Structure 1
């Protein structure tokens, strides 16, 4: 795609029927390159033309189709976003609790931590400060090779002419057959808030992984750390939406102490959007990966936690 061709997605909330429409191949009336939507010049349904320049609608109907036809080219490509509801909405988080981590962001962090390979080898996944349980649930889904979209029963592509339900059903069956419920390691999730644990349990049950996660209500420092290799991943507050930075300094220092005193032999991870607070951990990072939580630039910090001293290791 040419670097000079920008695109802008337009969410169309009222379009549910685009029967009879095919992507245009004819050149627009004007061949002068412009940088604005061509939607009004394309042979689209009336409702789609009227809405193509509307402002983005984050919560459009699940069956709605997002249409984009913007560019500097004389004949700009047209794109259909056939997902409907955003992909992060897996369908299991019925009780989000406070400031939940987006499902796809959690999955990306877990993949970056190398969890699938560790899970195959019988390693453990420990999620203190679990909140509504997103990290633990995504880790369990990954460990059992569960397809993340199985809980969704409505995508926008299902409302486009040509959709074959039988083909989709076959894909669902294949995904379910590929699941492996035998997880050799343990997945542990804790939180000091009983309401959070209650929400996490419910969400895990809806996701179909309730039997694979061990929940407990306790301070993160009291989380059980089983013997053997594994990952300890925390997503503490970082002063953007909840809590105050001054109050969180002791929390981050406590995480560092927890890593040093309780998590030897594991790999520790902290997801945070506050680099100043991260320094309070007091440990040297092995790696720092950049992620964005909405518009907030964050880091997934990796810590190699030695059993004993590094010299002994």
Structure 2
């Protein structure tokens, strides 16, 4: 068996290693496991004899140092201790939550079911507003030391450099693509400068509907792998969709409930389109950087086509107009 590389870190994550890692912790597996939807890491539902299945997350080598993963786990445990329904990793008898087996780092979680939330439902939005208000109230109470900051340098400048280094970017589009991306990044930087320094809190960091498991009793939230420090609005805008009037109404509902638990500075609303632009750049760079991982060409086959890069260029230009355009105004 060839050892895994930074590009293919899961080459040695065989069924024997997956099950062996769980049994190494003292569990008796049933021999059955199911791959769950994850690209950055590898996540599996593991059958346990005479008990409920567990979920195991195997971390991508080289992405986070151990200290950053410890902070992820600690934040999840802190939230869970406040009865905030975040699915935290299970600890062993020594209190450890990050384990090693056959060169792989992994954590184990209880399995929780659920479906995607229906964001068109007002009561769902109100529930999520309360959830984020509670999460951010805890997030304000501490600071990360090893987790990253959400910054234009990391999500904009660094992302563009990774994109320009990718052989997937067609040569004939490179000049116009780089120009559009740099104009977008500069516009984002101008907005952030105009808004001024904002309070940075501990965030979920990737609070899109796919990371929310909805049940009749409310949400369970998963995947703190991107937890970071940044403005509160980063966790809010990912729940907005539709036309500007729709997003304004949704944000008003979210903030009505959010404000019951945590203060929100309305000037952060001016950051929404700038943050959307940074997410676009970061996501594009993420796929390009991970292209040698076999899971990525399978999941994002369109990424290697000239048509994708042409459409991305157009989207950058359209997003530039959104960043420079009028700020979202909440309806009353």
TM over 0.5: no
Q: Which has the larger radius of gyration?
A: 1
More helix by share: 2
Structure with the bigger RCO (C-alpha within 8 Å, sep 6+) is 2
User: TM-score by structure 1 length?
Assistant: 0.28
User: TM-score by structure 2 length?
Assistant: 0.27
